[in-house]
Chain A
Amino acid sequence: MSDLMLGNQAVARGLYEAGVGVVSSYPGTPSTEITEFASKYDPSELYCEWAPNEKVACEVAVGASISGARSFCAMKHVGLNVAADPLFTASYTGVNGGMVIAVADDPGMHSSQNEQDSRHYAIGAKVPMLEPSDSQECKDYTKLAYELSEKYDTPVILRLTTRVSHSQSFVTTEERQNVAVKDYTKDISKYVMTPANAIKKHIVVEDRTQRLTEYADNSGINTVEYNDTKIGVITSGICYQYSKEALGDKASYLKLGMVNPLPVQLIKDFAGKVDTLYVIEELDDVIETHCRKLGIKVIGKEAFTLQGEYFQSKIKQVILGEKDEWQTVDAEIPVRPPVLCAGCPHRGVFYILKKLGVMVSGDIGCYTLGSAAPLSAIDTTVCMGASVSGLHGFNKGRKGEYEGKSVAVIGDSTFIHSGVTGLINIAYNRSNSTVIILDNSITGMTGHQNNPANGLNIYGDPAAAVDLEALAHAVGINSVRVVDPNNLEETEKAIREELAKAEPSVIIARRPCALLKTVKHKPAFKIDPDKCKNCKSCMRIGCPALCLTEKCVTIDATLCVGCGLCSQMCKFDAIKE
């Protein structure tokens, strides 16, 4: 039977059909739905969990693999930075049960802070990497990845990109394979990577790459399609689809299903049969560089770009010189950037921080939107956890001058992910830094995943919940307090007082995400047009439910959830429940 499936859903189906036993992931767009869909299968067959971060997830998968089960973890590209440590050595130990890591790159940065190319990790860790180009291949390559993992004794990376992960196309489903958990046998030379053992394993790894290169040349995972041979295209993943749409049978194709290690003889043969050879790959020039090392003349980044997504029109324009035409509306169209939702509990904190004019060390989550106008409250955003450790560095760098004038803001899930280590550093190496944990009881931006701080596991069942107050105390922070961020007065008082203290402190701004189904909303607030002086004070909180008109401000009742923040801004008592 054939179904329309997201690429991510098809990967999850592949996990099920491949008889995988353990899945551990940390959410990250565009990879999140793989694990969400996997968690819909019977956990007694396919067990799933949200891990605190990608390093933990990858190590859980390594452990499950050593135990003999087929295992899996998924993450976004920057998540693999976090999980790189176990990956590089799991490459040496190899596997017992097959192990696959799915990594989803985000060319065009739809929902990411950088545009890194994960293929470098496969090269660096010397592990095979498969790259599907549609949902059917997502499923097929996932299953193939387990075969390769066990045959070649290596973790395998499945590389996705946003357009593959988040496009639906047809997938034919099959039954789940019965894969027994393999026997576990203690094997120190294989699993204990002391230098003496690792030196021997490195030899095995290099030999494995040679054997995998032969596989790349001969197995059929990389396919050749001859049409007109004046133009040849070497490509992989979504770029294959763009190329086919742009060029049809005006070109011949070498489609790479395996992007590490790359084939040698296959590329040489293909290059010999076409007149002009293009390499079409988004992000870095990985295939192009490989071709040049083989002494093959190709056109690559000099015609295309290292930045963003390609699409069919770019390929058509570069190779065929053809351009699409279009017409525009004769009007200035204002941009519509993403914003903090109406009723978002982060809004109150950012309003106060802007008012106080402090330096705000920011982090990764919905609350990164606190950097957008009119709040414009955030000074820095680098990576998960960097708000806390970065603030300490900032305060040390300014020799204490900014203590009392700077804070870190970090969400509950991000704090668990990698903020807590930074907090330990603040306490241990003592800076008078103030960390605000924006605890909305969910992992928000990726679409509402439970996390270790909210007391629910991936299945929605009750689970141990990290006590953030106790944790902050335990690492050596004495001044810890909880505020309701929808109470502006209380929030301002708490921030002012904690900043004034000559010691490190933690403020937990606690209120659940307004989009959670369990959160009961008040009716929409109303503005009394007779009392409203149109002073626009309420507009300073940047709520999308507020609307300027010539006479007075109005509230969009379809958006307003009655958080009451705007009424706290009004000096004329014009905004009421």
Chain B
Amino acid sequence: MKWFKQTKYVWPLVPAVLFVFIFVGYAIMMALLESITINGQWTLDAYKQLLENQSFRDSILFSLKVTLTSTFISLFIGVVITRWMYYYLRNYWVKVLIWIPMLFPHFVWGYIVILLFSQSGWFSGLLYELGLLEDFTHFPVLTQDQHGIGIISTYIFKEVPFVILIILPVYIQMNHQYKHVVQTLGGSKWEIFKTVEWPTIFPVLSEAGIIIFAFVLSAFEVPFLLGATYPKMVSILSYDWFFQGDWSQRPMAFAAMIIVTSIIVICSIVLFSMTNRLRIRVSKGER
């Protein structure tokens, strides 16, 4: 309750909270209403249709696969780079270098990936000029492929710098003397990571993870550019249903997005309750 007594921190939050409640809350409520009404009648038909729809089932599984893969790989690479380089990353120029991909919007980065890695792209052309490739159709299919390689790699390029941005301060402020303690007690590098670094970075890392997860699962532009015809990411499917034809498929589009929102909300609640417990333990000094 101590936190609530510090009213001077609460009041300035009001605009932000209201903003979220009015705009995001209203939008979600409207989407929910649209998904459960068809021609003014209350019905769960849209959800029934969705679950029976082969395209949707394939799409949601594909989306989760792509999202989880890109989230975990980004987090992993981000942590590895930060661990190795946090000392050098204090340098301004090294930091700028690492953060270059963050300057580009996702859409632009997606296009860069196409221009570089498509079958008639820059790399394929280079290999052809060097005589290493007989024909550009022999170049591996890395964009618009059915496994989402193009999508996943675009997100990894974009999100790794974000992960570094988030956990770098944690690494810099970490009490590195703990590491020496583990070392003197004969602990390996892995034990240093497990006992000293991991408990400190885990809460921050999981926050970064949920942000990436939520973004990738529902973003439109990258899968639109780099996705295959089938299966589609759920955001594309939903966009198609929303805009196409006589608008009769709109309830399904809203239902699909409500399902995506629920997945994100549930994941966030689970993760936050986990990290909260950890935070409390850390603040009480029991590691």
A-B complex is real: no
**Residues in chain A within 8 A of chain B (CB atoms):** none
